[in-house]
Amino acid sequence: AQTVTQSQPEMSVQEAETVTLSCTYDTSESDYYLFWYKQPPSRQMILVIRQEAYKQQNATENRFSVNFQKAAKSFSLKISDSQLGDAAMYFCAYRRGNFGNEKLTFGTGTRLTIIP
Amino acid sequence: DADVTQTPRNRITKTGKRIMLECSQTKGHDRMYWYRQDPGLGLRLIYYSFDVKDINKGEISDGYSVSRQAQAKFSLSLESAIPNQTALYFCATSEERGYNEQFFGPGTRLTVL
């Protein structure tokens, strides 16, 4: 079974600085997708960024980027120029790539605090 | 209007009561999911449905049942609620193709006393 591990229960960063959240996963599949979701205090789950395993180029969405290391099974999230609105729980998620296997497996989350 | 809605948003009930959580979506997606979120455990899949006639158990289905009344509606029932079912429940939808990105509802906070 696939597992997703987020080893940092809590992180904090000074406003305008850069922070990296870690995620590792375990799978025997070669085709899969990885996601980072943000859950602010409103508790809504919001997709931040996604990565396809067969793409070597790291995904980027504005201030958010990932460092995808397939061999190491690592998928870290970098947030640049941190803003107060980035304060939230962040969840890493995995799903297999083949049709009919769209179920997400989530990590346990990292709570990010932004220090003004 | 929100694409994925859940009712109720908050509910307090007593042990042994039957309770239903409802999910509706206007995204036209075939796939719908129910997750449970507990502190320190992330989200775990309870049930999922790929169409009206296709219902599948997730990793923690014991004590729960579901009904897919229509493409747009997917309900989760607790036949006899117990305190360890106190949690935040999310409904999600996804389309069949592409990334199959899952879109989440706002969640239902359920407390079982």
Q: Band of the pLDDT at B1, cuts 50, 70, 90?
A: low
Q: Band of the pLDDT at B98, cuts 50, 70, 90?
A: low
B91, containing H or E segment: strand B87-94
B92 touches chain A (CB under 8 A): yes
Instruction: Please choose, from the candidates A114, A81, A97, the residue with its C-alpha nearest in 3D space to the C-alpha of residue A29.
Output: A97
State the Cα–Cα distance between residues B86 and B106, nearest whole angstrom.
17
A contacts of B92 (beta carbons < 8 Å): 45
Average pLDDT rounded to a whole number, residues B47-71: 93
Task: Give A34's contacts (C-beta < 8 A, 6+ positions apart).
Answer: A23, A25, A50, A51, A53, A66, A68, A75, A92, A93, A94
A21 touches chain B (CB under 8 A): no
**How does DSSP assign B33-54, residue by residue?**
EEEEEETTTEEEEEEEEEETTE
Q: Band of the pLDDT at A12, cuts 50, 70, 90?
A: very high
